[in-house]
Structure 1
């Protein structure tokens, strides 16, 4: 074994998929007075000593579907429970490199196939019991690798379809043996570690998937994170208090987090969230481009700063259901599984019109799952493009057998009218605007779209549980490394949106994407690795299983009383060090 600061680890700096977004800090008073969106050089940011006290007031976009981090598949859940848990490692959001979390250090063999993690001896669960190697082994071997427990995490913890071998060395040491060295291993083991003494019985009696539902009393949720949930009222609010056992302190010995209490109102309507922010009831707000004319003029009076975090890795797209198990007509499945049908819809998507109308011009058109935030993979000339062209779209539809009826709508060879139901989540103005634009443009080429907006949690249930949907406008958060998107891109992936959980690839192109992702996982040469991923995303661009529309810029308004603020598109850097200065 070698020390973790080894040649291998230094090489990892170059191997990790680095796409650096704008990093922003609080500007000078002069800049604040300009009432403009602020971008600042990250080199000028450093964490300062803060002071304890106050209550952070924030908003949550919706109720959690579950408090179980393994079962959570949507941001409404992860936003509620994210601060409750830790992994062995975490990612430094300034450098995008892995750093210690529950593991205070690690070492590995020369080949990079055997890793030992040494746990913090001062890490404790919310109930005061120590975090040990037994918890780590239990989490991986009995939960993440359990065939009876579906989890998106599981897709990230295989190399060439082989598991990591995880075993206890002593009370505070865990060993991982992996089939081959691969670049993102230290990030892969950042998954939440769970308490064996609490959850073992639920795994054994096969009720784990329903454990820690949203009706679970908060005191029964046992984690290690900087905050614990102490109160949760469905549809109203969540209250957090600082974990008294949290190990981290600042350099003069003060407890971290500096802010001992968080109160988060559950507000599904972004318009209401904006009103609450401007009235001072919440301390920061994710600004929509359409909000800027109202928000910017009030920045000085209300004492806040609007930050532009730059291009996000998040993507927005339309996806058609290609799942043979879905309760939709077989003739529609035939349409949706036809590449030229999907390409026609892509040509009929007015991306620039959508960006100007829905995003106030603050977004980027995309045609595959790569945004300008993905610096190493983004290449405007490499991936196929589908510029807005209704004539081309209709030609493709006629080419695959659709014919125009007397009513102006298209019909397939069996006489079925070309119509489908397109859904999105209610309360999201951008997506609702996009849905209406698509409906109108598709009607111009003979497609009848029934556009509906529904509750987000209902939407997720349709997508991931009963598959009762035809087409949807939805988005995905990006990942720092494409490897961590395997739950979407592998044909076996739980979030393989158009046809999840395939036992074997249903098409040759999906099989090729599987191959490229699996090969990239063990490729340590960064240029070769990037090329493998680019080839995979080029196939996705050609096949259009997801019709990508736009990658918005991310805007954030923050009250100036919050100090040590360093937001990024990946989250807040050292958020535990944020403090309140009234």
Structure 2
């Protein structure tokens, strides 16, 4: 009996020793009460549980709850803060390149008890993300300007080094922001992309292990998603409570956003993002409903009007490529009317890709451009550019009547409203606009596949604060849709293809930013980029809505003012809920 007692005590001692050996992430939070369940809603469940093959937000949102990366986002959305890695740094090499170092915490474990080590990190990159044909997105995001992958080295049992032969910025985001996968689970499933894609499907929930704050416990398609606290998570509060605070998160899968709103009002959900249309009603019902509404910062990636520089009718290309024509259209759009009447004031008029909250927004320069609603200014610009008004109709200097079609997604009400407002305004300038709202997939096909369009109203996702979307802004980018290169799309007329000087400069900026490690110089470069977009009205940006959320009064968020990059569930392991 004494021997058994000794063995038991020794076992307990070893467990306690191991627990103390963890290099904890100490989170700047205290006073939270452990326990309880957070109830959320979603309109779509995950399509996969594998981050290497995920292509949709509905999957990524769930994956982020059970898989961590070496670094996590700071309050501005940049990937700079410790997570699995306790520290990181970069050093320029004597050969003109750069090395990025990441040092993992000691004592990390997967939810199944297996150690999480530097070997998992190296495996994740070498066998999966660095293989060009292994994932749907390929390995482009890991290549340097000469299309070379970094050399990955194990420095010691806790440190990994990624070395490029050339300068590459944002290695902290490139490597630090990638979800680390368990080698002991995936090592037998990386022989091909098909083998990888068949790993951690939604039907294989029992094989999924976690490094993040929660473990996926149940998923019934079209019904619910259940996650429970990961007992092996490596974070603590300032007052020593092991995180996460919450015991569970339950997502109810709902048919649409309106149903989600009704469920929130009924008290079935604790938290939800809300639209500008719903904000006034929810604001008025705060006291009775025992919740509060929060007005966050402006959403990035504003909606815009784009003209096709390679329009099917050649004479129209001259208009659409003309910066003065686009400026006139910009002055003819009453953005403030859109914000006041359609967003209930929950937004701002914008004239460039970056919104006023961004560190890359040059407020003084953009304010000097004065792109405020003025039909008289629009008329003056058109007249000076050689356009002539005859019997109430506008003609270019070659005698062509100025008329074009504009299309947008029929399901996005505010885009439809913008199109109608613009159509009415341009009619006052003598420009006839044919507006056609169509299905989104049809619209995308016209833009990407056939090039058969004049103008569209769209937005590009602004999920990252980094403006360097090379596939959008470089001349040969796969999403440089307003002026596709003939090398990218066969439907572009090679003989008539035209690249203005400002687009050449933007292309140069996208190349230069890749090797610029100095943040001050980088900020200056991206401000120049954004100023060019505003000056030339390459895309005519329209408005940005505030990030809006409603939250149960019993729920204590980590961040008091959510922004679109970090959202209201930022540091979800530090969110707690009263009984």
TM surpasses 0.5: yes
Contact 2:153/2:160, CA 8 A, preserved across alignment: yes
SS of match in other structure, 1:482? coil
Q: CA deviation at 1:315?
A: 2.2
Pairing partner for 2:298 from 273, 288, 311:
311
The answer as to whether partners of 2:130 and 2:142 remain within 8 angstroms in 1 is no
Number of paired residues?
530
List runs of 5+ in structure 2 lacking aligned partners.
1-26, 489-496
CA separation in 2, counterparts of 1:212 and 1:245?
Answer: 23
1:31-430 to 2 correspondence within 5 Å?
A: 47-62=29-44, 67-70=49-52, 72=54, 75-93=57-75, 98-106=80-88, 108-109=90-91, 113-125=98-110, 127-148=112-133, 149-151=135-137, 154-155=140-141, 158=144, 162-170=148-156, 172-179=158-165, 184-189=170-175, 190-199=177-186, 203-207=190-194, 216-219=203-206, 221=208, 223-251=210-238, 254-267=241-254, 269-320=256-307, 329=312, 331=314, 334=317, 338-340=321-323, 342-375=326-359, 377-382=361-366, 384-390=369-375, 418-424=403-409, 426=411, 428-430=412-414
Conserved in 2, the CA contact under 8 Å of 1:159 and 1:521? yes
Kept after mapping to 2: 8 A contact 1:232/1:238: yes
Query: 3-state DSSP class of the match of 1:50?
Result: coil
Query: Does the 8 Å CA contact 1:113/1:180 hold for their aligned counterparts?
Result: yes
Give the match's secondary structure for 2:351. Answer: coil
Partner of 2:573: 576
* Pair 1:425–1:376, CA change in 2 (3 A): same
Deviation per CA, 1:515-552: give whole Å up to 9, x if none. Answer: 22332344444443322112212222244343211122
Equivalent residues of 1:184, 1:481 under 8 A apart: no
> Deviation per CA, 1:177-233, whole angstroms, max 9, x where unpaired?
134566633233222223445556665323378556976544455553222434444
d(CA) in 1 for partners of 2:126, 2:263: 45
The answer to whether the aligner puts 1:538 opposite 2:531 as a matched pair is: yes
Distance 1:53 1:501 in 2: 56
TM-score by length of 1: 0.75
Gaps of 5+ in 1: 1-44
Rg larger in structure: 2
- Assess, with a 3 A threshold, how the Cα gap between structure 1 residues 343 and 138 changes in structure 2: closer, same or farther: farther
Report the aligned-residue RMSD.
4.3
Q: SS at 2:508's partner residue? A: helix
Change (3 A) 1:344 1:417: closer
Q: Distance in 2 between matches of 1:234 and 1:335?
A: 51
- Residues 37-73 of structure 1, C-alpha deviations (whole Å, 9 max, x = no match): xxxxxxxx96223233222111225455665534555
Distance 2:235 2:450 in 1: 44
Alpha-carbon distance in 2 for matches of 1:500, 1:144: 28
CA gap of 1:311–1:162, structure 2 versus 1, over 3 A, is same
How far has the Cα of 1:581 moved from its partner? Answer: 0.3
Q: Provide the C-alpha distance between the structure 1 equivalents of 2:473 and 2:343, rounded to a whole number of angstroms.
A: 27
Q: Secondary structure at the match of 1:240?
A: strand
Q: Which residue of 1 aligns with 2:12?
A: none
For the residue of structure 2 that corresponds to 1:476, the secondary structure is coil
Shift of 1:422: 1.7
Alpha-carbon distance, 1:506 to partner: 7.6
| Inter-CA distance 50–493: structure 2 relative to 1 (3 Å threshold) | farther
Q: Give the Cα separation in 2 of the matches to 1:473 and 1:227.
A: 36
